[in-house]
Structure 1
Amino acid sequence: MIDRLEKEVDMLERHLQVLKMVLENEPIGIVKMSNETGYPHHKVRYSLRVLEEENLIEPSSQGAIKTEETEDFVADLDDKIDSISETLERMKIENTAEAEN
């Protein structure tokens, strides 16, 4: 169960790194992203597909570019990550308390 969560967090981190590269370098293609991040082409391609399905990027003839929804997503991202972190921290505290009893 925790292994699956760790894999999801790793994948989310990759998706966000790919999104950051698009924001900083748009338009940008798979090869450049792969070379700069060290991720294999197929993982970059998958992240781009996920970001496109979420309407955070769109393809262009020169490479991936942001969409109208990207800025709102990025603006809300810290709050969402904070909320998840708080939930995990609460779970950790509850687990520690139960282990002490």
Structure 2
Amino acid sequence: MIDRLEKEVDMLERHLQVLRMVIENEPIGIVKMSNETGYPHHKVRYSLRVLEEENLIEPSSQGAITTERTAEFVDELDDKLDDITDKIGGMRIENAPEVEN
């Protein structure tokens, strides 16, 4: 259960890193992103597809570029991450009685 959550967080981190690269270097292609991040091409391509489905980037002849929706998403991101962090922090099992095997 926790392993699956960790994999999802890792994937989200990759998507956000790819988005950050597009914002900072647009237009930018898969090869350059792969070389700079160390992620394999297929993982960068997948992140780009996810970001495109979310309408946060779009393809151009020179590489990925941002959309009108990107700035709004970035503005809301910190608050959403804070909400998720609070929710996860509330899941801790502290001072629970010891579980016997």
- Normalised to the residue count of structure 2, the TM-score between the two structures is 0.94
DSSP 3-state at the match of 1:91: coil
Q: Which has the higher helix share?
A: 1
Structure 1 segments of 4+ aligned residues over 2 angstroms from their partners:
97-100
Task: Provide the TM-score with structure 1 as the length reference.
Answer: 0.94
Aligned to 2:34: 34
Taking the aligned partners of 2:11 and 2:83, their CA distance within structure 1 comes to: 19
Counterpart position of 2:66: 66
The secondary structure found in structure 2 opposite 1:58 is: strand
Q: What is the number of residues matched between the two proteins? A: 99
CA RMSD of aligned residues (A): 1.3
Which one of 83, 94, 97 corresponds to residue 96 of structure 1?
94
Distance 1:84 1:97 in 2: 22
